[in-house]
Amino acid sequence: MKLKKISIALGVAMMSAMSGAHAIEENVLKNIETRVGAIENKMIGWRRDIHAHPELSNQEHRTAGLVADHLRKLGLEVKTGVGGTGVLGVLKGGKPGKVVALRADMDALPVKELVNLPFASRAKGTHMGKEVDVMHACGHDAHTAILMATAEVLAGMKDQLPGTVKFLFQPAEEGPSEPLDGEHDHIGALAMVDAGVLDNPKVDAVFGLHMIPAFPVGTIGYKPGPILASGDTFAIKVTGRQTHGGFPWNGVDPIVSASQIVMGLQTIVSRQLNLTKEPAVISIGSIHGGNRENIIPESVELLGTLRTFDDGMRADTQARMRTTAESIAQASGAKAEVSFVKPGYSTTVNDETLTATMLPTLKQVTGGHAVVTPKLSASEDFSEFSKKVPGMFFFLGSSTPGKEKTAAPNHSPKFEIDEASLAVGARAMTALTLDYLAQP
Rg of the chain taking only CA atoms, in angstroms: 24
Q: For the chain, how far is it from start to end, CA to CA, in angstroms?
A: 39
Q: How far apart are CA 229 and CA 341, in angstroms?
A: 16
Q: What is the DSSP string of 129-161?
A: TEEEE-B--SSHHHHHHHHHHHHHHHHTTGGG-
Reference 343, options 177, 230, 196; nearest CA is: 230
With residues binned 3-state (H G I as helix, E B as strand, rest as coil), the percentages for the chain, rounded to 5, are: 40, 25, 35
Catalytically active residues are: 345, 419
Q: How far apart are CA 307 and CA 232, in angstroms?
A: 7
β-pair type (391-399, 220-222):
antiparallel
Reference 212, options 418, 36, 410, 26; nearest CA is: 410
Q: Which helix (H) or strand (E) holds 266?
A: helix 254-267
Longest dimension (CA), the chain: 82
